[in-house]
Structure 1
């Protein structure tokens, strides 16, 4: 599809938004809006077969995520959002790289609740921050399995008061391999299925 190609080409040189100039940001937002108009899935939240799975972040305007790259001696690695429709769970995982043997991980777990055909309410309930080696991080799938089995991790592993830490996300485009979302803080997210 031409709209997807235009969006992917606009995103490619920006390192998920970290390197995006103001003109690039405007071009990307225009490409996103064009693609949203062509959304083949009118009620994305109800398309559990499309929504379920592991997604890798291609682009975002989220300051919270992009600022992880500004930590001293750290570079932002891959960012994943893993959705488990059966348990209404979502796992956000950011890999952090820097000094050898000190690769880190920042993750939050949440529950989501559909509130319309394209909006979900998200309530964050657990935060895990630590060194990948100490946590035993191998892959998002393995990590999620450990979380779901009730494992307590080394590092910072704390519950979050979901009444204070919540938001919503509109899924504005989804097909077999691309998803676009717009969050309550005005952030945009473009993800591809892994």
Structure 2
């Protein structure tokens, strides 16, 4: 996720007197802005509803263009807002994305005898952590740990610190692999829309549960590891994220 400059060319002065311009001032009220935001959000959600988290969009350029246009409309509604505060801390569940790596894993999971469950982005602003999680019910999970730093009202920098592929009785640690940033261009009580450093898009909603990990000392016959205990706690309606 260039600046351009241009000169304004003016004609030579002339003496003919023209009538003064008449301006039509459009008034925006709080309710009209909310209505505009809600309409753009509903349109976006309708467009992505049947896209299988983005898998179907990959082969439909026209649909992708329409969704990106809808994202831009939602981003306009969220322009100027602060989206990197405590409200960003939550377990976010994937609705749609253009990220090829995630879509590849989701699409190809059946080849390995499993299916992808919820795909999550778990953020804790105060703890400066982010976990990207792909679950494979009932026991599998792939997740990438990251550290984060708020860079601006809408931008967060991140750095991958480790990755883990985990089954019921085993765990394979993987090396960290990069850094970048993402902009949360829209955020409300249940929806978040993101553009990132690679130009990818992400639409997520607030999950009905919190994803956390805890460490349990353990070992197996093949791997001496510390398997991750995945905790799911239901979020009470109206409660904390």
Q: For the superposition of Structure 1 and Structure 2, which TM-score range results when normalised by the shorter chain?
A: 0.7 to 0.9
RMSD in angstroms over aligned alpha carbons?
1.7
Which of 160, 165, 174 is equivalent to 1:129? 165
Which of 26, 29, 32 is equivalent to 2:71? 32
Q: In 2, Cα distance between the equivalents of 1:95 and 1:25?
A: 26
Q: In 2, Cα distance between the equivalents of 1:63 and 1:159?
A: 20
Q: What SS does structure 2 have at the residue aligned with 1:120?
A: strand
Which of 147, 158, 172 is equivalent to 1:156? 172
Q: In 2, Cα distance between the equivalents of 1:30 and 1:70?
A: 28
Q: How far 1:155 sits from its partner (Å)?
A: 1.8
The answer to whether the 8 A contact 1:178-1:190 is kept is yes
- Give 5+ residue unaligned stretches, structure 1: 135-153
Q: In 2, Cα distance between the equivalents of 1:89 and 1:78?
A: 19
The aligned counterpart of 1:144 is: none
The answer to whether the 8 A contact 1:41-1:174 is kept is no
The answer to whether the 8 A contact 2:79-2:185 is kept is no
- 1:134-180 per-residue CA deviation (whole Å, 9 max, x = no partner) reads 3xxxxxxxxxxxxxxxxxxx3212452xxx51111111111111111
Within the alignment, does 1:95 sit opposite 2:108 as a pair? no
The answer to whether the 8 A contact 2:43-2:70 is kept is yes
The aligned counterpart of 1:149 is: none
The aligned counterpart of 2:14 is: none
Greater gyration radius = 2
How many pairs align? 165
Q: How far 1:18 sits from its partner (Å)?
A: 0.7
Q: What SS does structure 1 have at the residue aligned with 2:47?
A: helix
The aligned counterpart of 2:142 is: 106
Within the alignment, does 1:182 sit opposite 2:195 as a pair? yes
- Give 5+ residue unaligned stretches, structure 2: 1-37, 208-241
Q: How far 1:43 sits from its partner (Å)?
A: 1.9
The aligned counterpart of 2:15 is: none
Higher helix share: 1
Q: How far 1:76 sits from its partner (Å)?
A: 2.8
Q: In 1, Cα distance between the equivalents of 2:172 and 2:129?
A: 20
Within the alignment, does 1:6 sit opposite 2:19 as a pair? no
Higher strand share: 1
